[in-house]
Structure 1
Amino acid sequence: MTVVPNLSRAAGRPKPRSSAWRGILYIAPAMALVILFFVIPVMMTAWMSLHAWPLMGAQRWIGINNYIRMINDTRFLSALRFTALYTVVATIAIFAVAFPLALFVEKHRRFVGAYRTVIFLPVVVGLATASLLWVWLANVDSGFIGPLLRALGIVERSPNLLASFDSAFLTIIIMVVWKIAGFTMIILLTGLQAIPADIVEAARIDGAKRWQRFRYLTLPLMRRTIALALIISVTGSILAFDQFYIMTAGGPQNRMISVVYYIFNQSFVSFNLGYGASLSIVLLAILVAISIVQLWLLKVGDDKA
């Protein structure tokens, strides 16, 4: 007995190769943008990093000399140390403020929409604008912070908050938390709202206290959301530039120069475009390495789960 295949059903089934080409066609515009605005610039930067590339004049091939140079560049190493310090402190401070805010606005209470809006409002302000605003707030003569500290009895006269490293660093951290915490809060809020309410209610009925529910239920279920917020915060902190350029101009005593600020100085102040390009490639490698480690830790957590 001969079995006749259902030709009509086979004819109507899309071919795998056709589906693959259709998928490539769909992502082609995004691929073109990535190639045009990321891949090609990175390749050009890598090529520039292998040259002595002045702003004016002929370029000269020097191989990896720019990369060898940065090993003994004490100012670059100092910028790396300061950027690492800033990244750790800023990330911890942002999460310390954003997580309680997310827990606060996640509850159904009166005016919760207004609370969310007010907390998120600083996010829509540009970082350069926010930096200029806080320069004015910290001004000794016309600022608001100095008179407030005097009124609270903390100081006897208005301090110059941007004159010393400690006070300037603290002022910038407070400004960044004020500016960014609302964005991190929204990310964490989406994770909180994705937790099934019946699971939380079951834990509460079983006698789990609020801290136990947070420790053993909320945090594990929000691990992916926290990882996303952490990657965004760490990446943004490593790439920090505006606040240091506008608020302190790298001071006092050039102790607040971040890696991006140092790249800017080398490329557009000293016009060492080749060396600035090599610094940019190294910074890109650091960002990729940190992201890989964070994603690997997230995968390890999945395996344990």
Structure 2
Amino acid sequence: MTITAASPLATATAPRLRGSARRQWLGLLYIAPAVALVIVFFIAPVVFTVWMSFHNWPLLGSPSWIGLGNYTRMLTDNRFLSALSFTGYYTVIVTIAIFALAFPLALFVERERRGVGAYRTIFFMPVVVGLATASLLWVWLANVDSGLFSPILRMFGVTGRSANLLATFDGAFWTIIVMVVWKIVGFTMIILLTGLQSIPTDLIEAARIDGATAWQRFRMITLPLMRRTLALALILSVTGSVLAFDQFYIMTSGGPQNRMISVVYYIFNQSFVSFQLGYGSALSIALLGILVALSVIQLWLLREDEDK
């Protein structure tokens, strides 16, 4: 059937098309502020950082083009490689510690019991404390003279004298690990809790009726159905650990013996202490590449789950 311009069907369709186009333009208008913010505060800075990374860009003076010089320098920079190695070591330890505590807490607060709301609140409370504030709090707690940790260690016979926990690498490293776990575990617990609550209770009850033990139900039902949630929590934890800066800057200033300098801390030193903005930009782009790789891993995990 041929629809002419003067036909009733064409006359009825035209307003609908105009209304659809109007809604599309209205939708674009609504998202325009968000798009502008992304362009101004993310895309434009990234593009400018990439441009800076190809220059010798001092704080004072004119920048000069050096091409890939900053990137080749990065490959032979032992201090950067050391910072990258330390960041990887820190990321593995803190991620394992967070999940080792967050999963049992999520299982504990997932069950309906008396006072479970209070437990959830107590476990989550440290999350609302800023990381810089938490770092300053733990610096005071670990203070050899006025802190609380040293007297407690003497009370339980761990040490026979006042202990300066931030004076040695091991003491400072594990103090930071405990602080970060205390600060972050509640957030990871909430993410895992949402995954647990999304599992149909009918499956759990059917498995229990069929005689499956608690461990079998956890291994065969809970873990597979929480794959997406675990991937999300893992990526967030790893990304946050790779970007660690505040705790090392505030609690140890990179010490002792500059052994606790993370990648972000090293970028900060190169950019704003040594004023090598071009090299700091190249390091930032390299770190961005690492984070993009982590995001790709997350998408791959989710896609594999969908295929199955």
Normalising by structure 1, report the TM-score.
0.94
Amino acid of the residue matched to residue 120 of structure 2? Answer: R
Please point out which of 114, 119, 122 is paired with 2:118.
Answer: 114
After superposition, the Cα gap between the structure-2 partners of 1:172 and 1:198, relative to the gap in structure 1 and judged at 3 Å, is: same
Contact 2:232–2:298 (Cα < 8 Å) also in 1: no
Offset at 1:12?
Answer: 6.0
Residue 27 of structure 1 corresponds to 31
2: CA distance between counterparts of 1:203 and 1:8?
61
Structure 2 counterparts to residues 1-305 of structure 1, below 5 A: 6=9, 10-11=13-14, 13-14=16-17, 20-303=24-307, 305=308
Amino acid of the residue matched to residue 141 of structure 1? Answer: D
1: CA distance between counterparts of 2:98 and 2:151?
26
Amino acid of the residue matched to residue 111 of structure 1? Answer: G
After TM superposition, what 4+ stretches of structure 1 lie above 6 angstroms from structure 2?
1-5
1: CA distance between counterparts of 2:81 and 2:298?
23
Offset at 1:297?
Answer: 2.5
Identity %: 71
Offset at 1:250?
Answer: 0.4
2: CA distance between counterparts of 1:206 and 1:24?
54
2: CA distance between counterparts of 1:150 and 1:214?
41
Amino acid of the residue matched to residue 70 of structure 1? Answer: M
After superposition, the Cα gap between the structure-2 partners of 1:206 and 1:19, relative to the gap in structure 1 and judged at 3 Å, is: farther
Q: Which runs of 5+ in 1 are unaligned?
A: none
Offset at 1:8?
Answer: 7.0
Q: CA RMSD in A?
A: 1.9
Amino acid of the residue matched to residue 267 of structure 1? Answer: S
2: CA distance between counterparts of 1:203 and 1:259?
47
Q: Deviations over 1:15-49 (max 9, x none)?
A: 77666544433322221111111000001111111
Normalising by structure 2, report the TM-score.
0.93
Offset at 1:80?
Answer: 0.4
> How many residue pairs align between the two structures?
304
2: CA distance between counterparts of 1:29 and 1:110?
46
Offset at 1:2?
Answer: 9.4
2: CA distance between counterparts of 1:296 and 1:219?
18
Offset at 1:150?
Answer: 1.4
Offset at 1:146?
Answer: 1.2
2: CA distance between counterparts of 1:170 and 1:181?
16
2: CA distance between counterparts of 1:199 and 1:6?
52
